[in-house]
Amino acid sequence: MAPKNKWELADMLRYSVVFDGPVAVRYPRGRAYEGLSENRADIEYGKAEWIYEGKDVCLVAVGSMVRIAVDVKEALEKEGLTVSLVNARFVKPIDEEMLTTAMKKHKIVVTMEENVLSGGYGENVRQFTDTLKSKAKLINIAIPDKFVEHGSVDLLLKAMNMDAEGITKRILESIPK
């Protein structure tokens, strides 16, 4: 049974403790992101959280990538684009309603996860969105399926072009001239 108390809905950890069923919690290496607390909506099973709404690009970030998505959003807006930001919250089940809306309302939808692409969130999103026949371009940002050296989180993300600068560049390069 889902929690009814708003205090219990304050974060995913509290939610997982009171959820009536199995839950896997993945937490990032490094620091936790406490920003955007003013935007936190109540947690509903399987539902993503729309944080900002624009029309050109929709960033759908999982977990620790929300912090980077905020920086990507700001960089893209400096380039004249309007950007939506969605906190996916749940890797499974994916929020099909949110994805359908995102693919209909945006030119580009970008999934961002600190996980391997193969078998990850972005791959599941692609499988679902392929059925929508949308004209929106889908870009999956994830760890490549290869050995990744050890190092600080920031250093590794930069090396894989998964930092704000690398992701912003990739999105801008995908826009037809």
Task: Provide the CA 47 distance to its chain's centre, in angstroms.
Answer: 12
Task: With respect to residue 47, please indicate whether it lies within any of the assigned structural domains.
Answer: yes
- Whether the CB-CB separation of 58 and 102 falls below 8 Å is answered with yes
Task: With respect to residue 1, please indicate whether it lies within any of the assigned structural domains.
Answer: no
The count of domains in the chain is 1
The CATH number that applies at residue 106 is 3.40.50.920
Q: Are strands 57-61 and 108-116 parallel, antiparallel or unpaired?
A: parallel
Task: With respect to residue 15, please indicate whether it lies within any of the assigned structural domains.
Answer: yes
- Whether the CB-CB separation of 62 and 121 falls below 8 Å is answered with yes
Task: Provide the CA 99 distance to its chain's centre, in angstroms.
Answer: 11
Using the predicted structure, report yes or no on whether residue 65 has a pLDDT greater than 60: yes
Task: With respect to residue 31, please indicate whether it lies within any of the assigned structural domains.
Answer: yes
Give the residue among 76, 77, 73, 90 at the shortest CA–CA distance from 35: 73
What range does the domain containing 13 cover?
A: 6-174
* Residue 10 confidence (pLDDT): 44
Task: Provide the CA 73 distance to its chain's centre, in angstroms.
Answer: 12
**pLDDT band (50, 70, 90) for residue 150:** confident
Q: What percent of the chain has pLDDT over 90?
A: 59
Give the predicted TM-score (pTM) of the model.
0.82
Task: With respect to residue 16, please indicate whether it lies within any of the assigned structural domains.
Answer: yes
In one-letter notation, the amino acid at residue 112 is M
C-alpha dist (Å) from residue 10 to 2, 37, 43: 13, 9, 8
Task: With respect to residue 131, please indicate whether it lies within any of the assigned structural domains.
Answer: yes
**pLDDT band (50, 70, 90) for residue 56:** very high
Which residues does 156 contact at the CB level (< 8 Å), separation at least 6? 148, 149
Task: With respect to residue 115, please indicate whether it lies within any of the assigned structural domains.
Answer: yes
Using the predicted structure, report yes or no on whether residue 6 has a pLDDT greater than 60: no
- Whether the CB-CB separation of 34 and 46 falls below 8 Å is answered with no
**pLDDT band (50, 70, 90) for residue 20:** confident
Task: With respect to residue 160, please indicate whether it lies within any of the assigned structural domains.
Answer: yes
